Structures are given as C-alpha cells and as structure tokens.
C-alpha cells in the first residue's frame, strides 16, 4: 500500500488471499482451531508473495498493520503475534485495526471511491449494521441486528436445506433458478420505525417451511428447494434495502456504501442499485473480490487512519486482541 495514489486515498500495490473454504467444507462451517493453525502456515508465504508482486522488500514497509478485532480470538492472536514480531524485527511501528472499519473503508480501494459523509450498510459475517459515517473514525451507529445477522440467516437457512458451505454463496446460486414469491416468509422489523434488524425469526420460518415441503427441500434439482432459497433471499434483501433507504432519508444523505461479505450478493446489489437510482442516491461497493475478509482492507484502513491523524503507529510490540469491539467506540 502506497500512502499516496492517483486520488486523495492510498493506492494498493498488491494483495494476496488464501481461502479456507475447502478446508472447512468438510465440517459445514468454520472450525476455529483449524482456522488458526492454517493461518500460522499461510501468513508468511502470503507476505512474501505480496512483496514479490509489488516489487518491494520488507525494508520498504513503513507500518505493519494487523486485525486487532473483533473476531475469533485464536485467529486474531496469530495475526497480531506475527505482525508485532515482524515490526519488532524491522524496527518499524505497528498498528492494530478494527475488522469492521476495514470493511467499512474497503470501497475506497475501488476505482469509484466514495466521499464522506455517507450511510454505510455493513453486512459482514455475524454483523449487520447501519452507520452514519462523517469521516475516518467518525462513526455513529444508526441500527444493528438484535439477534442473527443477515449473513447468519443465509448460512443457517442453507444448512437447514442441505446447501454446502459456504451457505450464503450457495443459497444465492440456488436462488437464481427459483421463484422469490413462491413462499411467504417474514420480513422481521421491516416496519419497526427504527434501523434495527432481526433475522432469527426468518431462520425459524425457513425451518418450518422446509418441514412442510418435505424431502424436496433438501433434494438437489428440486423446484421447491430453489423456490425456498429464492424466497429466503428475497426476504433478507428486502429488509436490507428498505432499512438502508429509510436511513438515507432520515439522515438526509445522498450516498450509500455497502461493505462486507453479503455485499457481494448480486440480488442485493441489483435491488439497491434500483432503489438508489430512484432516490437519486449514489451507491458504492468494494470490488467483488474485496467484499470478503482480506488484508488489503486492513492496510487501507490503517493508512487512512494515519493520514487522517486519527492514530499514530507505535514502536511498542506488546499486544492484545479484542474479540468483541464496537465499531462506534473508535475515535
């Protein structure tokens, strides 16, 4: 990451990603201990690969950034331990970054980068939040999920229907061949008058509907299975789109940023694009390959915090991690 680029934001020189999907598929979801052990094996080779691609040496690094939280403690400890050890060996400062801030600022890696202020829809893993973002480190929580997040609703519904891990992507693909109006599923908190979300009831409704359908709900190629996937996706997408548009209207802002793994969902993008066009609102997404967790977004968030004077990297190499860390607590 260069601290200056063609615009006001840092420029990405290179990045690399190793997916653990194949490893976790056998278990139907993430196994924390396996994830942490695999991180230990992969992090240094990936670092060498990125430096080679960028045409840089370790001595060219100015700051070593890492994910401090929130997330799985074991995986966070691997990243923070390696980062702090590497920084100490190089005599360089180190900076711990908030995972969700990385997602929030990831659209600034795009060729169509947003401008502050904006409303952000964060749909990443176990998080579904609406934020008002006035600048780097200036985050006001508008609403969040009170139980299951949108990503969890996708994944848990997928598991109920026998869709292989990762469930969200599998459900979206299955939904392409289904009728989104085939089954009437609830839209929790759609008319609550606030910006909070709830998807636990939807998961229960999917379970009930799949039991009514019977074996066809789990049978590959069955019309009923595709219809249930499409109906589930339609319910989740409608809630996300309508809540986002209400937040934009309430704040008076005309720019929306969508970030996190669920932001890669093509139906969500299609409906948000349509709603934003109708409301004369600009909508921004990270590139598809940067929607899921990646190191580039953490580097970007670190560079933007430093450039904005929000945080000074420290040459202090003791570290801790924050498995739970509210985004709106940042300054």
Strand arrangement, sheet containing 255-259: 138-144, 127-135, 118-124, 255-259, 282-284
Asked if residue 144 and residue 87 are part of one domain, the reply reads no
Q: Which domain holds residue 89?
A: 21-104+291-329
pLDDT exceeds cutoff 80 at 38:
yes
CA 129 to CA 142: how far, in whole Å? Answer: 8
Asked if residue 154 and residue 97 are part of one domain, the reply reads no
**Span 212-263, pLDDT tens digits:** 999 999 999 999 999 999 999 999 999 999 999 999 999 999 999 999 999 9
**Number of helices followed by number of strands (H, E) in the chain:** 10, 7
| C-beta of residue 117 within 8 angstroms of C-beta of residue 139 | no
What is the number of domains present in the chain?
2
Classify residue 237: in a domain, yes or no. Answer: yes
Asked if residue 199 and residue 137 are part of one domain, the reply reads yes
Classify residue 5: in a domain, yes or no. Answer: no
Which pLDDT value is given to residue 162? 93
Classify residue 13: in a domain, yes or no. Answer: no
CATH number for the domain spanning 240: value is: 3.30.420.40
Classify residue 192: in a domain, yes or no. Answer: yes
| Residue 177 phi, psi (nearest 5) | -100, 10
pLDDT exceeds cutoff 50 at 6:
no
| C-beta of residue 170 within 8 angstroms of C-beta of residue 158 | yes
Asked if residue 234 and residue 200 are part of one domain, the reply reads yes
Classify residue 109: in a domain, yes or no. Answer: no
Classify residue 9: in a domain, yes or no. Answer: no
**Span 83-136, pLDDT tens digits:** 999 999 999 999 999 999 999 999 999 988 999 999 999 998 789 999 999 999
Q: Report the predicted TM-score, pTM, of the whole model to 2 decimal places.
A: 0.93
Which pLDDT value is given to residue 125? 78
Asked if residue 148 and residue 214 are part of one domain, the reply reads yes
Classify residue 250: in a domain, yes or no. Answer: yes
Q: Kindly give the pairing relationship between strand 127-135 and strand 118-124.
A: antiparallel
Asked if residue 280 and residue 248 are part of one domain, the reply reads yes
CA 109 to CA 287: how far, in whole Å? Answer: 8
| Per-residue burial over 118-137, b = 16 or more CB atoms within 10 Å of its CB, e = otherwise | bbbbbbbbebbbbbbbeebb
Asked if residue 217 and residue 186 are part of one domain, the reply reads yes
Asked if residue 125 and residue 92 are part of one domain, the reply reads no
Classify residue 318: in a domain, yes or no. Answer: yes
């Amino acid at each position: 990451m260069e601290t200056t680029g063609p615009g006001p934001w840092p420029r990405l020189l290179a990045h690399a990603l190793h997916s653990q999907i194949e490893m976790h598929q056998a278990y139907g979801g993430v196994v924390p201990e396996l994830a942490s052990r695999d991180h230990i094996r992969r992090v240094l080779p990936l670092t060498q690969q990125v430096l080679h691609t960028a045409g840089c040496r370790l001595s060219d690094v100015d700051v070593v950034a890492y994910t401090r939280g929130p997330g799985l403690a074991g995986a966070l400890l691997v990243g923070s331990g390696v980062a702090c050890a590497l920084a100490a060996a190089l005599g360089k400062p180190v900076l711990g970054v908030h995972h969700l801030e990385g997602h929030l600022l990831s659209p600034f890696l795009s060729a169509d980068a947003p401008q502050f202020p904006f409303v952000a829809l964060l749909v990443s893993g176990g998080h579904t939040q609406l934020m008002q973002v006035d600048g780097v480190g200036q985050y006001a929580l508008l609403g969040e999920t009170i139980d299951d997040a949108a990503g969890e609703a996708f994944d848990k519904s997928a598991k109920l229907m026998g869709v292989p891990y990762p469930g969200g992507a599998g459900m979206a693909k299955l939904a392409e061949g289904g009728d989104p109006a085939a089954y009437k599923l609830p839209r929790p908190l759609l008319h609550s008058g606030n910006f909070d979300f709830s998807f636990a009831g939807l998961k229960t409704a999917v379970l009930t509907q799949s039991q009514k359908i019977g074996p066809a709900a789990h049978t590959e190629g069955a019309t009923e299975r595709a219809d249930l996937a499409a109906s589930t996706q339609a319910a989740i997408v409608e809630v996300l789109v309508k809540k986002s548009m209400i937040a934009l209207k309430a704040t008076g802002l005309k720019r929306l940023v969508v970030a996190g793994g669920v932001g890669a969902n093509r139906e969500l993008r299609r409906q948000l694009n349509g709603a934003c066009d109708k409301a004369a609102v600009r909508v921004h997404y990270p590139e598809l390959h940067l929607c899921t967790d990646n190191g580039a977004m953490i580097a970007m968030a670190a560079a933007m915090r430093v450039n904005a004077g929000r945080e000074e990297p420290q040459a202090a190499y003791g570290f801790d991690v924050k498995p739970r860390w509210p985004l709106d607590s940042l300054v």
